[in-house]
Structure 1
Amino acid sequence: MSHLILIADIGGTSSRLALVGVDGVPSDIQIHRNDSFAGFESMIEADLAARDPAAAHAVRGAVLAIAGPVDIEEVRLTNRDWAFTRPELSARFGWDRLAVLNDFEALAHGVPALGADDVVTINPGHAAPDAPCLACGPGTGFGTAALVRVPGHATVVKGEGGHVRLGAVNVQEARLLAHLSRAFGGTVSVENVLSGSGLARVHQVFSGDRLESHAVIAAAEAGDEEALESCHIFLRVFGRIAGDLALLFDARGGVFLAGGVSAGLVPLFAGSPFMEAFLEHPPFDERLAATPVSVITHPTPGLFGAGQVGAGLARDGLARDGLARNGLA
């Protein structure tokens, strides 16, 4: 227990925190409602105070996965007025190692450790050894990250795929984009459609009904034709964008669809136009047909990925201590 890392998957409404060592396996996962705390520091303080004192004392660093931009000096949580700087947070808790990751960046780090029970296969394909893997999907917005393998290790390239401009490829999509263009003042981005609120917008445009995304999915599963059509329109756009991104990142190692909306749509992928749209990228149809596509159903993939990064920090800490004991640090 000499080196533990606190890992956290911090969402807009709730957060999951756990401890991890060199094995990368999260232990003692605690779930906190964000409304109970004034900010990051108070939540972390309460979490550590509730843990075994010996374990809390052994925490030497942290990995925080956050829904929002992280490559700035002051990190802010999207949809909540929480902010911190790395130096201030590290000093407050006495950490000598702190990694702050975008939520999809963390998720992509965990992709290699996902097992067969953690995913639902949409297209089995044939994964190319050592090829990049793509993680993408709708949630509050549309997240994108790729795991790229290089000799000796893997690195994650994060992106802002949700803010790419969205185009239409058929009359139905043109109608949707015309409506959204008026609503958003001109520019329509990917996440205006591919997000939880985006599915609700699609359904409202084509049915006139205002429903939350989970209600649209439930109605579609129950046989409501309008809701099913809305989900199929959504899945067609999703398939096309996933195919675009798979080609952009050369993701022959696999495409992993993530987020609560993707998981909720699992029963509707079969018979939907998702794969047809995914493959419609001539002249690379055959390459995409060979690309495995799965939906992540692991309950805490962001925390799982943060654990993989945390394991590296724990190993670095042990190595540093070893050098110090031998007078080499």
Structure 2
Amino acid sequence: MLSTDASASPLHSVLVADVGGTSARLATVGTDGVPTDPRIYRNDAFPGFEALIEADLAAREPEVAAAIRGVMLAVAGPADGDHVRLTNRGWSFSKRAIRRRFGWTRFVAMNDFEALAYGVPAFTAADLVTVGGGHADPRAPMLVCGPGTGFGVAGLIRTGGTLRALTGEGGRARLGATNAEEARLVAHLARELGPVVVEHALSGSGLARIHALFAGETLAPEDVIAAARRGEDGALETCRVFLRLFGRIAGDLALTIDARGGVFLAGGVSAALAAFFNDSPFREAFEEHPPHEGRLVATPVSVIVHPTPGLIGCAQVGARLARALAR
């Protein structure tokens, strides 16, 4: 749920920001956990994170900007130290320096997929496209993963009555091959990029690389997807290769954390390809992990199609911060 009414922000509002490699989504949130007045920016328009924040605050009503006392920031990269650097964009900053610069009382930063994982319980059926069957075990871990500018991975586990997100850099894990088609792709990527990692193939740029190799045509990823929607054979084959590889990697990750609570496919590329999953080899490749096929057959998989899913996760964390600031 999103609110576009800026006046609905409680006094102790928190700025929430989901900053990926390509774009950033910002909103304010109060104790209710509902993102208010969401705004989307292209990162290319700004030299760095500080300039992005300055532009966003200037665009909001003065009383709303003045009421912001805390920030919950999700970034596409590790965020556990004071110095934060985006994995797929040359932006970096110091948490302490940014908090002092803007005069915030609290500043929380975490990996974007970690924040997204916290939003999973808030998604409704309208926010998800189901891929195949399965039934979630509510006691088991959940997995969130998917391609965008890079490839993000996070888990969500229940400890007592609390949900806790776990994150890492799964997109930088080495990518291998299980058949001749994948071997051809990995060999091509190795010649082009050196040691091959998951996000070299499973990302927006990876989709374009797969299309160039198998269709012999250089297109931007959004153009590949558009061509597939028009039914063009080369683009449909690219999507088939991409989704089969995606299914295998998602199955690998699901087994790694025992994600019988459900697998949620995130990222802009996943959402753009949502209509193709059920007619693709994704589910077959997801389940094809002997001798554990039965475990994966029972694991439900959904594509997240909410327009700003990262903000939903940021808002869940931001609401806790807002409640702390209101005490």
Answer whether TM exceeds 0.5 for this pair: yes
Q: Deviations over 1:77-104 (max 9, x none)?
A: 3444432211111112222221112121
Q: Distance in 2 between matches of 1:183 and 1:40?
A: 31
Gaps of 5+ in 2: 1-9
Measure, in 1, the Cα distance between the counterparts of 2:260 and 2:47.
Answer: 43
The equivalences for 1:219-258 within 5 A come to 219-258=227-266
| Amino acid of the structure 1 residue aligned with 2:156 | L
For 2:318, the equivalent position in structure 1 comes to 310
Q: Provide closer, same or farther for how the CA distance between residues 3 and 124 of structure 1 changes in structure 2, counting only shifts above 3 A.
A: farther
Query: Which one is further off, 226-235 or 29-38?
Result: 29-38
Residue pairs, 1:60-79, within 5 angstroms: 60-79=69-88
Which residue number corresponds to residue 324 of structure 1? none
The 2-side partners of 1:184 and 1:83 are apart by: 24
* The structure with more radius of gyration: 1
1:11 counterpart residue number: 20
Instruction: Name the CA shift for 1:287/1:212 in 2 (closer, same or farther; >3 Å).
Output: same
Report matched runs for 1:77-92 at 5 Å: 77-92=86-101
Tell me how far apart the structure 2 counterparts of residues 133 and 200 of structure 1 sit (CA, whole Å). 29
AA aligned to 2:167 is K
Q: Shift of the alpha carbon at 1:45?
A: 2.8
Give the whole-Å Cα distance in 2 for the aligned partners of 1:13 and 1:220. 23
Cα 1:52/1:220, change in 2 over 3 Å: closer
Match of 1:171 in 2: 180
Cα drift, residue 207 of structure 1 = 2.0
Alignment of 1:259-270 (within 5 A): 259-270=267-278
Q: Structure 1 residues 14 and 271 mapped into 2: Cα distance closer, same or farther (>3 Å)?
A: closer
Q: Please tell me the residue identity of whatever aligns with 1:200.
A: A
Whichever residue aligns with residue 28 of structure 2, its letter is L
**In structure 2, how many angstroms separate the alpha carbons of the residues matched to 1:93 and 1:144?**
31
After superposition, the Cα gap between the structure-2 partners of 1:148 and 1:91, relative to the gap in structure 1 and judged at 3 Å, is: same
Alignment of 1:148-227 (within 5 A): 148-185=157-194, 187-227=195-235
Instruction: State the identity %.
Output: 62
CA distance in 1, matches of 2:234, 2:303: 24
What is the root-mean-square deviation of aligned Cα atoms in Å?
A: 1.7
Stretch deviating more after TM superposition (297-306 or 37-46): 37-46
Tell me how far 1:13 sits from its aligned partner.
Answer: 4.0
Alpha-carbon distance change, 33 to 173 in structure 1, aligned in 2, over 3 angstroms: closer
Report the 3-state secondary structure (helix = DSSP H, G, I; strand = E; otherwise coil) of the residue aligned with 1:108.
Answer: helix
Residue type matched to 1:201 in 2?
Answer: R
Residue number in structure 1 paired with 2:287 = 279
Residue in structure 2 matched with residue 48 of structure 1 by the alignment = 57
Question: Which of 150, 154, 173 is the aligned partner of 1:141?
Answer: 150
Match of residue 29 from structure 2: 20
Post-superposition shift, 1:306? 0.5
Give the Cα separation in 1 of the matches to 2:22 and 2:280. 31
8 Å Cα contact 1:123-1:291 kept in structure 2? no
Tell me what 2:114 maps to.
105
Instruction: Tell me how many residue pairs correspond in the alignment.
Output: 318
For 1:156-203, what per-residue CA distance to the aligned partner results, in whole angstroms no more than 9, with x for missing partners? 111211111111111111111122222223x21111111111111112
8 Å contact from structure 1 (residues 242, 278) kept in 2: yes
2:134 alignment partner in structure 1: 125
Contact 2:20/2:149 (CA < 8 Å) preserved in 1? no
The TM-score normalised by the length of structure 2 is 0.92
Which of 90, 93, 102 aligns to 2:102? It is 93
Aligned-residue offset at 1:49 = 3.2
Point out where structure 1 has 5 or more consecutive residues left out of the alignment: 322-329
Larger displacement relative to structure 2 (143-152 or 264-273):
264-273
Which TM-score applies when normalising by structure 1? 0.91
